[in-house]
């Protein structure tokens, strides 16, 4: 009766939902379930997050305190104890899947999470992995571990993969309205997976297997990575020819079919697009496939921070200064505009290149007042206020992330030199170098 009992609980909103990883994916998903009347338990190894949630306070800029408070009033709570896994009916895993120093998949967060909750698993639970990964992960890493507990997946335990599709700061789509792809290990698993998400997501898209769902997520983000790589390379060519690539993109966008606009920049950021291509290329080697096209796009995008550095050197040389000793202000260190998300931000790579070359670095970002603790990057800095006097005191201003809160007119009028990596300054300005 395991399938029927869990299915009925999900239909009746009587199931207790456990969400592991309360970051940019797990926190909004927790709120979504709470809003629909489910009891939700959030799990995170960071006690700060549990404390903030208990106090009704947010730690993600685009999620207001009011949403946290609304969810907690409906029963949402957070804990650092995996012992509470025995009390939930659904276990949704939303933990990071970064790359190691060799640009290979690092599944340690997923595997450590599963190993941590395994002792507390019981019958009649569904496990859903949402973390982006290579095709085969759910079957190869999660399935044998769950069945090592004496559970039979598809009969008294259920396993699905449903890739997250969050886009922090986006206004036109939300967790509720972004369609949800779901793949199950068995037909019963798929049915349970559909019921798990049907209650909180407007549109659920079932696919034939966990592998198909895993590949779907990779295709979505590799599609973006490849096209961004293309437009970044086009930017370099256009710059050599004295052509404004942003003007060209705007003109091409007037074609009502056959063209999708992608914007160039200083590199790729966010947790998915810079990382996902490497998950597929790594797994493809197991099948004897060399993914040349994808790897080339990754190479182009990875080299963009260095391209910006060359433009900074060019600009400073033009005013008879070197990078060594120059005072440089980096505008925007989040990976995209109008958010506080720092994951894989190319701005940080530019800052590290500048520091290595001897520049004196500061940053300004209205969304990131203090440089956060990061796994691979360390700067003991606080955001400076962007005033005309402040801007004028630097040798170079680098527009790395074009937040709307910056006063670009004032910055242009006050700066000695601007290196614009986001195409914010259109037309000709004597003090602007386009990067």
Instruction: Take residue 110 and report the two structure tokens written for it.
Output: 């997923």
Q: Which of 202, 203, 200, 204 is nearest to 33 (CA)?
A: 200
What's the rounded Cα separation, in Å, for the pair 15 and 125?
10
Tokens of 38: 């489910």
Do 92 and 19 contact (CB within 8 A), yes or no?
yes
- Rounded distance, CA 398 to CA 350, Å? 9
330, 371 in Cβ contact below 8 A? no
Is 94 assigned a catalytic role?
A: no
Of 94, 189, 272, 396, which one is the catalytic site residue?
Answer: 272
Cross-strand partners of 20: 43, 93
Taking each helix axis from N to C end, the angle separating 65-73 and 26-35, rounded to the nearest 10 degrees, works out to 50
| Sign of the alpha-carbon torsion through 12, 166, 295, 249 | positive
DSSP secondary structure code for residue 23 in this structure: S
DSSP 8-state class, residue 120 = G
Classify burial at 171, counting beta carbons within 10 Å of its beta carbon; exposed 0-12, middle 13-18, buried 19 or more: exposed
CA–CA separation, 96 vs 25, rounded Å?
10
Closest CA to 26 of 89, 74, 90, 84: 90
- Of the candidates 435, 412, 411, which has an alpha carbon nearest to the alpha carbon of residue 423? 435
Residues annotated catalytic, as ranges:
272
């Amino acid at each position: 009766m395991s399938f029927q009992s869990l299915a009925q609980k999900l239909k009746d909103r009587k199931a207790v939902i456990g969400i592991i990883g309360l970051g940019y994916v797990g926190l909004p998903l927790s709120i979504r379930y709470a809003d629909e009347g489910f009891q939700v338990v959030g799990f995170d190894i960071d006690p700060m997050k549990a404390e903030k949630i208990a106090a009704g306070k947010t730690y993600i800029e685009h999620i207001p305190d009011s949403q946290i408070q609304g969810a907690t009033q409906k029963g949402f709570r957070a804990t650092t104890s995996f012992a509470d896994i025995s009390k939930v009916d659904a276990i949704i895993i939303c933990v990071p899947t970064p790359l190691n120093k060799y640009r290979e998949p690092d599944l340690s967060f997923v595997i450590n999470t599963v190993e941590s909750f395994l002792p507390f698993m019981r019958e009649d639970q569904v496990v859903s992995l949402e973390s982006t990964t290579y095709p085969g992960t759910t079957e190869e890493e999660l399935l044998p571990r769950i069945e090592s507990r004496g559970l039979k997946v598809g009969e008294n335990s259920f396993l699905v993969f449903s890739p997250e599709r969050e886009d922090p700061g986006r206004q036109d789509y939300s967790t509720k309205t972004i369609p949800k792809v779901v793949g199950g290990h068995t037909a019963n698993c798929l049915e349970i997976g559909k019921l798990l998400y049907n209650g909180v997501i407007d549109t659920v898209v079932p696919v034939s297997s966990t592998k198909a769902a895993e590949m779907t997520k990779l295709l979505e983000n590799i599609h973006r990575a490849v096209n961004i790589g293309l437009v970044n390379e086009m930017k370099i060519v256009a710059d050599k020819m004295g052509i404004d690539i942003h003007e060209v993109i705007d003109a091409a966008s007037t074609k009502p079919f056959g063209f999708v606009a992608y914007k160039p920049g200083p590199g790729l950021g966010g947790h998915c697009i810079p990382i996902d291509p490497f998950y597929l290329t790594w797994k493809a080697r197991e099948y004897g496939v060399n993914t040349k096209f994808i790897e080339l796009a990754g190479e182009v995008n990875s080299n963009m921070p260095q391209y910006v550095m060359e433009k900074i050197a060019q600009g400073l040389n033009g005013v008879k200064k070197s990078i060594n000793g120059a005072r440089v202000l980096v505008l925007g260190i989040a990976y995209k505009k109008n958010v506080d998300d720092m994951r894989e931000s190319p701005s940080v790579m530019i800052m590290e290149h500048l520091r290595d070359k001897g520049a004196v670095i500061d940053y300004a970002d209205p969304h990131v007042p203090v440089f956060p603790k990061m796994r691979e990057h360390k700067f003991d800095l606080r955001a400076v206020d962007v005033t005309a006097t402040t801007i004028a005191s630097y040798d170079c201003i680098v527009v790395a992330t074009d937040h709307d809160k910056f006063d670009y007119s004032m910055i242009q009028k006050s700066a000695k030199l601007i290196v614009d990596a986001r195409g914010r300054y259109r037309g000709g300005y004597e003090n602007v170098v386009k990067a």
